[in-house]
Structure 1
């Protein structure tokens, strides 16, 4: 339990010769972070016709809304030592055969107050409540990682619940968003690493952005914290969580560093469509972008995320439109990479 009085946090900047950080070249914002490939726009594939055909593998209450995947997933025998539980949106529980439990971008409710209150008035910014994990399960957590500071990936109410026992691994500039309660926080640059038990956790690039100001078009904190994904390495096997990201050559860079990735957790939602802002695709992969990224990464299996009955539909047509588009584009692109589709709360071992 957290106490009411302030207790200084233990914050360490994980920094060594392998660290990579790119700063903005915009005048007056030279202290802000930037993407590795900030001007990238050359997307290999774009669905243009009949992008959301019906699928017998997905059963819905209405048109692509409130759905369950009912199809058969491919058999994958990797013996990688990872068990993945998808809590919904971008939140996962990762368990290893070494006994570590790591939470990835855990968000158990809505956006932080007062944003949750304001966004109840805006369609698409409140979600159905996800299922509760349970105190006993959460108590087993050794470490918690966050990909970036956006409200749908980091909620201050959750760290109050998760407490000070786990180690927190976060991007650079992130620690100031924690209250002084005695948290152990590791701020990390791209390509730095931290060992948790038998698992090495590497922070890697994504193609995204960050801010925490909830009033639109105020830029005081734009890109003041870094963003990225995570590679978990356990007994020679790897699992990659991409975080929010657009498609760019950074996926190939990650493969160059770590080799073919055994398990990839890739986002497929909140991309540019007729219902979303045009800049969304720069910072969120379409389903076809994710398929190409899986090839770039050498993924041996992919678990997609971002869609779902308890996800925020920011830019998406419906709760499951991204999954329908993925099913179509997997067939069109004839990918050889197996994709394992989960419903929220689903668990799979590799």
Structure 2
């Protein structure tokens, strides 16, 4: 039986309501590109891809220190269910009283919840589950990369988030399901080219070049270089989105004190550059995992720091305290021997290199105030 105009109108409205309920109604995002006189962007010189981003020190290879012998000795500070797998740090951390006002909670892998002296709550690279669908589904079928599910963050706590920052678009650092959960209340601070990966649902997205800044409440957030790369399409020899978005780390400045999150990065002189801009950093959150080992591709070290690289980086940055990340029971173990092999190697290299600054080792879900 044919429907009249009123019935068709009613049906159309119902379909729109159902569609919005299931998928969310489209609403344009508020995208701003942050500019500044100190902004730095470096592009590749590869013919045909001059709009793609590049590392500042693309050809850097001179790593100061490399562990070559007995890199994973036993440690009484780490208890494991099997060899360097499913572990917990049980040692004593040094007392650190820097009076910065920063409180850091490690959520796992590269994800942190940061509370500043001004009271701002900032999420850093939050990924609360697996990779985005359908990549997680494909990896499960292939028995590939997956992680143990991290503990959920309380919804009331998430609702207090003022800003979310992302270092780059790789799946283990950015998950679209998470921004859907976090919603449009917080501001999003991201690298250049990143906003295109947000669905149109009314998000406030600030795209930033290296050495540009944005205030979140009383906290100044600065985007700084890293030595890495970016892509979302994992198909060999397909260059469609390689390095089309920028990557980097973040410096948070609150009441004259600084906290640095490196993002994924290899070692290069960019750490000294950051120190030259901001002076000695009070608290450094540095990656120590997914580096080149006998189980990973040789190029991994170019874009991921080894534990000894992280120690040298901490010295270059003038870190007054360091929290390492990237290992753990809820990480993906990309390039690592086991869940905690990187931590065992760090313990070895700390004894060998004797860095002056304290290293605070957290288990996932733990927090520390500096």
* TM-score above 0.5: yes
The TM tier, using the shorter chain, reads: over 0.9
The CA deviation at 1:124 is 5.4
- For residue 139 of structure 2, the aligned residue among 116, 119, 126 is 119
- For residue 232 of structure 2, the aligned residue among 209, 212, 229 is 212
Kindly report which structure 2 residues correspond to 1:79-158, keeping only aligned pairs within 5 A, or say none. Answer: 79-123=99-143, 125-158=145-178
Give CA deviations for 1:311-333 in whole Å, capped at 9, x if unaligned.
Answer: 01000000000000000000001
Q: Specify the alignment match of 1:10 in structure 2.
A: 30
Q: Tell me, what secondary structure is at the counterpart of 1:272?
A: coil
Once the two structures are overlaid, the 10-residue window that deviates more, 100-109 or 113-122, is: 113-122
- For residue 182 of structure 2, the aligned residue among 162, 176, 186 is 162
Q: Is the 8 A contact 2:170 2:230 kept in 1?
A: yes
Instruction: Indicate whether 1:200 and 2:232 are aligned.
Output: no
Q: Tell me, what secondary structure is at the counterpart of 1:239?
A: strand
Q: Specify the alignment match of 1:309 in structure 2.
A: 329
The CA deviation at 1:119 is 1.0
Q: Is the 8 A contact 2:117 2:255 kept in 1?
A: no
Kindly report which structure 2 residues correspond to 1:1-350, keeping only aligned pairs within 5 A, or say none. Answer: 4-123=24-143, 125-350=145-370
TM-score, normalised with respect to structure 1 = 0.99
Give CA deviations for 1:49-69 in whole Å, capped at 9, x if unaligned.
Answer: 000000000000000000000
Q: Tell me, what secondary structure is at the counterpart of 1:329?
A: helix
Q: Tell me, what secondary structure is at the counterpart of 2:181?
A: helix
Q: Tell me, what secondary structure is at the counterpart of 1:120?
A: helix
Task: Give the whole-Å Cα distance in 1 for the aligned partners of 2:143 and 2:103.
Answer: 34
TM-score, normalised with respect to structure 2 = 0.93
From the superposition, tell whether residues 123 and 334 of structure 1 become closer, same or farther in structure 2 (CA, over 3 Å): farther
Task: Give the whole-Å Cα distance in 1 for the aligned partners of 2:57 and 2:260.
Answer: 20
**Larger relative helix fraction:** 2
Q: Is the 8 A contact 2:283 2:322 kept in 1?
A: yes
Q: Which runs of 4+ in 1 moved over 4 A?
A: none
The CA deviation at 1:121 is 3.7
Q: Is the 8 A contact 1:115 1:214 kept in 2?
A: no
Give CA deviations for 1:179-208 in whole Å, capped at 9, x if unaligned.
Answer: 000000000000000000110000000000
Q: Is the 8 A contact 1:206 1:229 kept in 2?
A: yes
The CA deviation at 1:215 is 2.7
Q: Which has the larger radius of gyration?
A: 2
Task: Give the whole-Å Cα distance in 1 for the aligned partners of 2:89 and 2:195.
Answer: 38
Task: Give the whole-Å Cα distance in 1 for the aligned partners of 2:144 and 2:325.
Answer: 17
Task: Give the whole-Å Cα distance in 1 for the aligned partners of 2:200 and 2:154.
Answer: 25
